[in-house]
Structures are given as structure tokens and as C-alpha cells.
């Protein structure tokens, strides 16, 4: 006999969230911890022993333990009070819109350069560079020597590099 998760959620989720809120957890955090407790229940499946076959008790214990774990993590995390100016001074690691456009242009040039290559050269390059296969594996798949395969891949790299340099002006 398996647990009816939907019925368990309808029956116990509010009760678990309320118990967490009584422990001082915010409403949003209580809802998150409740959902995480149900995820733990799904992952755990049914306990094997009939004496432990009490999903309500399991959910309450897991939600309490999740809250305790969260408190422990928060104690370990250092907090720094920043002014607005200090916060704004933190460098953003996201690329700028200009960088994104530039990178997309270079990708388009590389893609068209690959299309200009002979089929076997392009395939060797793609298997090696994009498919992350070694030279020997590519050579074996293409039925070529490793030396000839290396020459094809080197030629492809040079061709793409040359097209990118041409585009730079």
C-alpha cells in the first residue's frame, strides 16, 4: 500500500507550516520548508517497518530538522552590512550587452567558417572539439591515421581562426 501524497499534502501541509511559524519561521520560509519536507517524503518512499509507517510524524520530524539545518547554515554564513554605494561597487560577473553581441557575432562567424570546410575536416573538428573525443578515437571513427586526423583538425582550427581575424579587420 502506498501513500497518497496529494491527500497527505492537503491534510498536513497547513499544519506543518503553522508549526514552523510557531517556531518563528516566516510564512514564505515555512511554505518552502514544508514543500521540502514533502520532497524528502517522496525521495524516502515508505519506511519498511509498520511501526515507522506514520507519514505525518515523518513530515513533522523532517520539517523540524530542515529548520534546524537552516539555522545552522545561517549561523555559519557571515553577514556584511553594506551601504548602497558599496553594494553598487561590487563587480557584476555577467557579460555586458556589448560583450554578448560581440560573442554572438564571433560564434556566427565560427559557425559559417565550419560550414565552409570539407565534410571530413568539419566532422573531425566537431568530434574532437565539440564531441570531446581524442585524436585516436576520431581517427578510428573516420578510418584515418592519427597523423592525418590531426592535420584535418589543425586545418579546421586555422580556418576558423583566420575567418575570425578577417572579421576583426
CATH 1.10.1740 in the chain, residue ranges? 5-76
- The pTM (predicted TM-score) of the whole model is 0.47
CATH architecture under which domain 5-76 falls? Orthogonal Bundle (1.10)
Rounded Cα gap, residues 160 and 169, in angstroms: 15
What the block records as the C-alpha cell of 168 is: 576583426
Task: Evaluate if residue 138 carries a pLDDT over 90.
Answer: yes
Rounded Cα gap, residues 108 and 133, in angstroms: 23
pLDDT tens digits, 13-63: 999 999 999 999 999 999 999 999 988 888 876 555 433 568 888 889 999
Task: Evaluate if residue 121 carries a pLDDT over 70.
Answer: yes
* pLDDT the model gives residue 66: 94
Rounded Cα gap, residues 41 and 57, in angstroms: 11
As to burial, measured by CB atoms within 10 angstroms (0-12 exposed, 13-18 middle, 19+ buried), residue 12 is: buried
What the block records as the C-alpha cell of 106 is: 564571433
What the block records as the C-alpha cell of 59 is: 513530515
CATH 1.10.10.10 in the chain, residue ranges? 97-168
* pLDDT the model gives residue 68: 94
Q: Which CATH fold topology does 97-168 show?
A: Arc Repressor Mutant, subunit A (1.10.10)
pLDDT tens digits, 50-99: 335 688 888 899 999 999 999 998 888 777 788 999 888 888 888 889 99
Amino acid at each position: 500500500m502506498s501513500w497518497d501524497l496529494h491527500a497527505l499534502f492537503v491534510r498536513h501541509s497547513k499544519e506543518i507550516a503553522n508549526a514552523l511559524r510557531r517556531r518563528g519561521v516566516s510564512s514564505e520560509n515555512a511554505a518552502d520548508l514544508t514543500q521540502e519536507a514533502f520532497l524528502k517524503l517522496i525521495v524516502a518512499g515508505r519506511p519498511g517497518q509498520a511501526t515507522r509507517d506514520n507519514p505525518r510524524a515523518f513530515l513533522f520530524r523532517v520539517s523540524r530538522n530542515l529548520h534546524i539545518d537552516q539555522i545552522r547554515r545561517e549561523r555559519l554564513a557571515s553577514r556584511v552590512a553594506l551601504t548602497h554605494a558599496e553594494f553598487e561597487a561590487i563587480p557584476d560577473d555577467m557579460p555586458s550587452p556589448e560583450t554578448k553581441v560581440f560573442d554572438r557575432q564571433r560564434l556566427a562567424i565560427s559557425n559559417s567558417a565550419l560550414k565552409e570546410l570539407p565534410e571530413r575536416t568539419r566532422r573531425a573538428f566537431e568530434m574532437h572539439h565539440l564531441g570531446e573525443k581524442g585524436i585516436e578515437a576520431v581517427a578510428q571513427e573516420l578510418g584515418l591515421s592519427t597523423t592525418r586526423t590531426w592535420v584535418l583538425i589543425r586545418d579546421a582550427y586555422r580556418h576558423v581562426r583566420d575567418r575570425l581575424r578577417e572579421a576583426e579587420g
